[in-house]
């Protein structure tokens, strides 16, 4: 493995767009790059948490600040008009990217978590009550699990969980049992950020709609890594974050079917989302602006537009193929160690990440050793603490891949894990 011809994407060319990948790590954190121990090449395998940002995206954001930095929708001067057009075009670009009908169905938030909370509070507080059920899966991120758990406490609704089997797959027979006429919302992760499991969200959407329930899909790990069409899925709500897909931090997206968003009341109130105000009452702006109170995420939205342009130039089918190649390769190489336990389905059935543990070694200790080798991974419960409780472990070590990663970097991970095995033997 490792030759350019074997990759679905042009990795060598892509890596040139990410100067951070040339860094050496291991020296003084207070003065990075200056210490004598900065000798290890960075192997960045923490992309499920945050991906890196290519020069083209940074340049697009810088151009906004250098050339037409201004607030949107509030001024008739030239800079404000330019910024407004760019910001609205970013909504259009996102809508096109995920298969939405138009910008009216695309709300910009800070992240996936805020998108989840927006729906939970703006829809859930008014629509849920005693006797209603919200159905989640056992592998939900805390952004979904905790949010709906707390909304249920406020409304008297009940939360139920679709089982995950020993292979890390969703038990669809159990899903069919849980989703019934009491179900008001099904909220499920598209690709698990711990198990790598790809959830059959279109099938779940059919189940939900058969019982007049809505479905909310957490696409934080799917939109960055594979083609997504929200209309083909028939999702009622769908959310993801820019910082996991080459974009800046501080930008998230909530997709919602237009007729549902029209019926919902705003989650936040203030400037920008107002059509008219009197001392007695107020009316709201048209979609999507009624959900974007205050000065919005202008630069971040423009940066997300640039990130989507970059990904589409690569081709989302190739992005997915590259991720799956690396995940399967890592799964196979780590499986060769009899003292390494990998969580989730087989290597050819998962998204681009592998969570595992080394017998007798806490994930944080293993992560520290990998860091000494220049390998950046994630260690902890990955905001899926109940899932880790079900797995019987307090934490796991997670390597996650993106378009600039190589099989050589997977080899560096495996070699570092082997060194840890020898150290703790």
Mean pLDDT of 344-372: 94
36 pLDDT exceeds 60? Answer: no
pLDDT in tens, 183-226: 999 999 999 999 999 999 999 999 999 999 999 999 999 999 99
How far apart are alpha carbons 181 and 208 in whole angstroms? Answer: 9
Tokens of 141: 């991120």
Residue 28's pLDDT band, with cuts at 50, 70 and 90, is low
Q: Give domain 56-313's CATH architecture.
A: 3-Layer(aba) Sandwich (3.40)
Q: Number of helices and strands (H, E) in the chain?
A: 15, 17
DSSP code at position 255: E
pLDDT at residue number 27: 61
- 188 sits in which H/E element: strand 183-189
pLDDT at residue number 411: 98
How far apart are alpha carbons 354 and 344 in whole angstroms? Answer: 8
344 by Cβ neighbours in 10 Å (0-12 / 13-18 / 19+) ranks as buried
**Catalytic residue positions, numbered:** 383
The dihedrals phi and psi of 354, each to the nearest 5 degrees, come to: -140, 120
Is the Cβ–Cβ distance between 57 and 271 less than 8 Å?
Answer: no
pLDDT at residue number 29: 56
CA torsion sign for 381, 382, 384, 390 is negative
CB atoms < 10 A from the CB of 385, how many? 15
pLDDT at residue number 75: 75
pLDDT in tens, 324-339: 999 999 999 999 999 9
How far apart are alpha carbons 113 and 141 in whole angstroms? Answer: 9
Q: Measured over all CA atoms, what is the biggest interatomic distance in the chain, rounded to whole angstroms?
A: 73
pLDDT in tens, 232-267: 999 999 999 999 999 999 999 999 999 999 999 999
- 228 sits in which H/E element: none
* Nearest alpha carbon to residue 135 among 114, 155, 163: 163
Tokens of 165: 């089997």
Helix/strand/coil for 303: helix
Mean pLDDT of the chain: 95
Lowest-confidence segment of 24-38, 245-259, 347-361 by average pLDDT: 24-38
35 pLDDT exceeds 70? Answer: no
* Nearest alpha carbon to residue 299 among 307, 290, 289, 310: 307
pTM, to two decimals: 0.95
Mean pLDDT of 129-140: 98
Is the Cβ–Cβ distance between 6 and 389 less than 8 Å?
Answer: no
Task: Give domain limits for the chain.
Answer: 4-53+315-424, 56-313
The dihedrals phi and psi of 300, each to the nearest 5 degrees, come to: -65, -40
The dihedrals phi and psi of 330, each to the nearest 5 degrees, come to: -65, -40
pLDDT at residue number 34: 57
Which is more confidently placed, 288 or 76? 288
CB atoms < 10 A from the CB of 368, how many? 12
39 pLDDT exceeds 80? Answer: no
Tokens of 29: 């954190």
64 pLDDT exceeds 70? Answer: yes
How far apart are alpha carbons 106 and 184 in whole angstroms? Answer: 22
Mean pLDDT of 386-395: 96
- 173 sits in which H/E element: helix 172-178
Mean pLDDT of 120-131: 97
DSSP code at position 20: G
The domain over range 4-53+315-424 is classified in CATH as 3.90.1150.10: yes
pLDDT at residue number 424: 85
Q: C-alpha angle 353/358/363, rounded to 5°?
A: 70
Mean pLDDT of 23-40: 66
Q: C-alpha angle 247/252/258, rounded to 5°?
A: 130
Tell me what percent of the residues of the chain surpass a pLDDT of 90.
Answer: 92
pLDDT at residue number 343: 97
How far apart are alpha carbons 242 and 259 in whole angstroms? Answer: 25
How far apart are alpha carbons 158 and 149 in whole angstroms? Answer: 8
């Amino acid at each position: 493995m490792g030759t350019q011809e074997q990759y679905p994407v042009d990795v060598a060319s892509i890596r040139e767009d990410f100067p951070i990948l040339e860094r050496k790590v291991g020296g003084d954190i207070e003065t990075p790059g200056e210490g004598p121990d900065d000798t290890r090449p960075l192997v960045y395998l923490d992309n499920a948490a945050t991906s890196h940002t290519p020069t083209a995206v940074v340049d697009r954001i810088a151009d906004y600040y250098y050339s037409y930095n201004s607030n949107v929708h509030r001024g008739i001067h030239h800079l404000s008009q330019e910024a407004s057009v760019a910001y609205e075009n970013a909504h259009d670009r996102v809508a096109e990217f995920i298969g939405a009908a138009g910008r009216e169905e695309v709300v910009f938030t800070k992240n996936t978590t805020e998108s989840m909370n927006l729906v939970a509070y703006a829809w859930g507080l008014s629509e849920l009550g005693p006797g209603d059920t919200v159905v989640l899966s056992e592998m939900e991120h805390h952004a979904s699990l905790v949010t709906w758990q707390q909304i249920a406490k406020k409304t008297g609704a009940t939360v139920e969980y679709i089982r995950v089997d020993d292979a890390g797959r969703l038990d669809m027979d159990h899903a069919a049992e849980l989703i019934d006429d009491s179900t008001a919302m099904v909220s499920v992760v598209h690709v698990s950020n711990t198990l790598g499991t790809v959830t059959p969200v279109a099938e779940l959407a059919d189940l939900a709609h058969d019982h007049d329930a809505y479905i909310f899909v957490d696409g934080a790990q799917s939109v960055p890594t594979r083609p997504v069409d929200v209309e083909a899925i028939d999702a009622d709500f769908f959310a993801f974050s820019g910082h996991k897909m080459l974009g800046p931090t501080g930008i998230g997206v909530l997709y919602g079917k237009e007729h549902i968003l029209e019926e919902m009341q705003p989650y936040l109130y203030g400037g920008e989302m107002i059509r008219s105000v009197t001392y007695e009452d107020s009316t709201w702006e048209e979609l999507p602006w009624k959900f974007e109170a205050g000065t919005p995420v202008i630069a971040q939205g423009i940066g997300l537009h640039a990130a989507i342009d970059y990904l589409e130039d690569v081709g989302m089918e190739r992005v997915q193929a590259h991720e799956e190649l690396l995940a399967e390769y890592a799964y196979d190489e780590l499986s060769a160690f009899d003292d390494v336990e990998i969580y989730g389905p087989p290597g050819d059935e998962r998204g681009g990440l592998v969570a595992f543990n080394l017998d007798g070694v806490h994930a944080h200790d293993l992560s520290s050793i990998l860091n000494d080798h220049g390998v950046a991974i994630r260690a902890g419960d990955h905001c899926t603490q109940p899932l880790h409780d079900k797995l019987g472990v307090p934490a796991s070590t997670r390597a996650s891949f993106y378009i600039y990663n190589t099989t050589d970097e997977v080899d560096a991970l495996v070699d570092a894990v082997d060194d840890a095995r020898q150290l703790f033997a």
